[in-house]
């Protein structure tokens, strides 16, 4: 057994909220931390939705849901949130300065045995190891979105991570129903996001540059990838516009990639500035809870009445 019973999740956004709920569902005591009460209120709203999702998708009983609720607590006080933690999972925005600040502030409040894991999508654990004040007890644990069905977690070390830390977190992932994926060398993006970010960035480029509509990007994907439930534009909605914007902005500047920066500007103007964050707010590229890609006719051969519309979008004369 991992001996990890008390878990704190730093950040109550889309994935932080999922990690917190799922970890509590699997029997751990969880504190969700965020800097603002309104962020925690949104997280509580998401958790209310997960009650019904878990009943439907993982056959959770009313007793299971009640037990999950009893193991969850919410706090805007960082010292209060982390002081009893056996494991702290950091899921704050993908901005290095924000992550560094959180690690530095919480270091004095942690128990000596407490482990820390970053859920960073694209950054390396080594980038923050020293500021945690316990580099040997620090590693990366990266969860896939929709973790109740996509129960994959990637485990990545940095040169100072202790073997015992990795043993404990691996046991913890199994205890909480996850399939652990060993990342054998440090890699920005792990296994999943190495290909996933490339996929959604390429899809966004097609839309940013006016080559295709979001719907047609997804139609192409869903027709070719048999059995896929969502196309890349819908996956952007799932990840969240703010997270994708942060990734594009950081790596656009790091790589001096103007296309990535153009993609970030597109998201800012059309979504972030309007408060549209994707599934989290009920609207992104699609409107939820009944997005167009789930409609029966989304992949159907179109009616002849659509011909002129298609031609108008293709015609270059």
132 pLDDT more than 90: yes
Shared domain check, 46 and 161:
yes
Shared domain check, 165 and 241:
no
Instruction: Say how many CA atoms lie within 13 Å of 199 toward its Cβ.
Output: 19
Specify the pLDDT at position 83. Answer: 97
In a domain, 174, yes or no: yes
Shared domain check, 197 and 146:
no
Specify the pLDDT at position 294. Answer: 96
Asked if 33 contacts 81 with a C-beta cutoff of 8 angstroms, the reply is: yes
Confidence label for 32 from pLDDT (cuts 50, 70 and 90): very high
In a domain, 187, yes or no: no
Specify the pLDDT at position 280. Answer: 86
- b/e burial code for range 150-182 (CB count within 10 A of at least 16 → b): ebbbbbbbbebbbeebbebbbebbebbbbebbe
DSSP 8-state class, residue 144: P
Other residues' Cβ atoms within 10 Å of the Cβ of residue 83:
17
158 pLDDT more than 90: yes
Confidence label for 91 from pLDDT (cuts 50, 70 and 90): very high
Asked if 41 contacts 31 with a C-beta cutoff of 8 angstroms, the reply is: no
Cα radius of gyration (the chain): 21
Q: What is the mean pLDDT of residues 209-230?
A: 95
In a domain, 175, yes or no: yes
| 189-215 confidence digits (pLDDT tens) | 899 989 999 999 999 999 999 999 999
- Give the chain's domain count: 2
Specify the pLDDT at position 164. Answer: 97
Please tell me the distance from the alpha carbon of residue 274 to that of residue 40, in angstroms, as a whole number.
Answer: 21
Confidence label for 172 from pLDDT (cuts 50, 70 and 90): very high
Helices marked H in 145-231: 163-175, 192-208, 214-224
Specify the pLDDT at position 130. Answer: 95
Q: What is the CATH number of the domain that holds 238?
A: 1.10.1040.10
237 pLDDT more than 90: yes
* Average confidence score pLDDT of the chain: 96
Q: What is the CATH number of the domain that holds 90?
A: 3.40.50.720
Domain range for residue 162?
6-182
Sheet holding 138-143, edge to edge: 72-75, 29-33, 6-10, 87-90, 115-118, 138-143, 152-156, 179-182
Please tell me the distance from the alpha carbon of residue 317 to that of residue 154, in angstroms, as a whole number.
Answer: 50
Name the domain boundary from 182, 211, 234.
Answer: 182
Shared domain check, 209 and 154:
no
Confidence label for 231 from pLDDT (cuts 50, 70 and 90): very high
Shared domain check, 251 and 126:
no
Confidence label for 129 from pLDDT (cuts 50, 70 and 90): very high
In a domain, 302, yes or no: no
Q: What residues form DSSP beta bridges with 266?
A: none
In a domain, 138, yes or no: yes
In a domain, 317, yes or no: no
| Backbone phi, psi, residue 2, to 5° | -80, -20
């Amino acid at each position: 057994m991992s001996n990890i019973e008390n878990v704190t999740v730093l950040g109550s956004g889309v994935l932080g909220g999922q990690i917190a709920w799922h970890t509590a569902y699997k029997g751990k005591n969880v504190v969700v931390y965020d800097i603002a009460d309104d962020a925690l209120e949104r997280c509580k709203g998401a958790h209310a939705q997960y009650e019904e999702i878990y009943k439907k998708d993982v056959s959770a009983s009313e007793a299971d849901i009640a037990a999950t609720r009893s193991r969850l607590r919410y706090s805007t006080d960082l010292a209060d949130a982390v002081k009893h933690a056996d494991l702290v999972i950091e899921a704050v925005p993908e901005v290095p300065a924000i992550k560094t600040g959180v690690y530095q502030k919480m270091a004095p409040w942690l128990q000596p045995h407490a482990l820390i894991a970053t859920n960073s999508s694209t950054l390396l654990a080594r980038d923050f190891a020293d500021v945690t004040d316990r580099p040997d007890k620090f590693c990366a644990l990266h969860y896939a979105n929709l973790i109740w069905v996509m129960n994959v977690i990637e485990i990545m070390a940095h040169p100072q991570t202790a073997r015992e830390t990795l043993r404990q977190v691996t046991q913890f992932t199994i205890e909480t129903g996850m399939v652990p994926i060993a990342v054998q060398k440090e890699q920005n993006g792990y296994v999943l996001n190495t290909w996933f970010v490339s996929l959604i960035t390429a899809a966004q480029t097609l839309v940013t540059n006016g080559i295709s509509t979001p719907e047609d990007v997804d139609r192409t994907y869903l027709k070719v990838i048999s059995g896929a439930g969502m196309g890349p534009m819908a996956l952007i909605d799932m990840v969240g516009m703010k997270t994708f914007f942060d990734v594009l902005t950081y790596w656009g500047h790091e790589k001096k990639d103007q296309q990535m920066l153009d993609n970030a500007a597109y998201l800012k103007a059309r979504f972030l500035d309007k408060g549209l964050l994707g599934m989290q707010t009920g609207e992104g590229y699609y409107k939820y809870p009944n997005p167009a890609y789930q409609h029966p006719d989304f992949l159907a051969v179109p009616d002849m009445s659509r011909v002129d519309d298609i031609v108008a979008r293709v015609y270059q004369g």
